[in-house]
Amino acid sequence: EPEVTQTPSHQVTQMGQEVILRCVPISNHLYFYWYRQILGQKVEFLVSFYNNEISEKSEIFDDQFSVERPDGSNFTLKIRSTKLEDSAMYFCASRTGIGAEQYFGPGTRLTVT
């Protein structure tokens, strides 16, 4: 069964450094998402992406964040200058079309020291 994959599974970085989290959505999916989950807290929506542009974003998704679909398969989340509070699990998700369910990847745990 097709699945969303994410790399790396765990990323450790120093405060102020840039990180790129990578996702490979399911191949025929058209809508892509990033969510984050700070340890012990709920899953929070960050951004949705369709047709090579951001369609919606939350108040969390500020200028430090950006997303890109650099080729036909990858979907990336970049954090420009990481802060301690960016430490969280980041989930990528994708779906085929409007109304379809979102499929989640296993997540990347980001630790900022």
Partner 1 sequence: AQSVTQPDIHITVSEGASLELRCNYSYGATPYLFWYVQSPGQGLQLLLKYFSGDTLVQGIKGFEAEFKRSQSSFNLRKPSVHWSDAAEYFCAVARYNNNDMRFGAGTRLTVKP
Q: Which of residues 51-90 bind partner 1 (CB under 8 A)?
A: 55-56, 58
Q: Which tokens go with 42?
A: 């709920």
User: x/- binding map, residues 6-45, to partner 1, per CB under 8 A?
Assistant: -------------------------x-x-x-----xxxxx
Residue selected from 34, 65, 75, 91 as contacting partner 1 according to rule CB under 8 A: 91
Nearest to 31 by CA among 103, 85, 81, 91: 103
DSSP 84: G
Tell whether the torsion through CA atoms of 12, 15, 18 and 19 is positive or negative.
positive
Residue selected from 19, 26, 107, 110 as contacting partner 1 according to rule CB under 8 A: 107
Place of tokens 């399911």: 26
Which residues make up the interface to partner 1 (CB under 8 A)? 31, 33, 35, 41-45, 48, 55-56, 58, 91, 95, 98-107
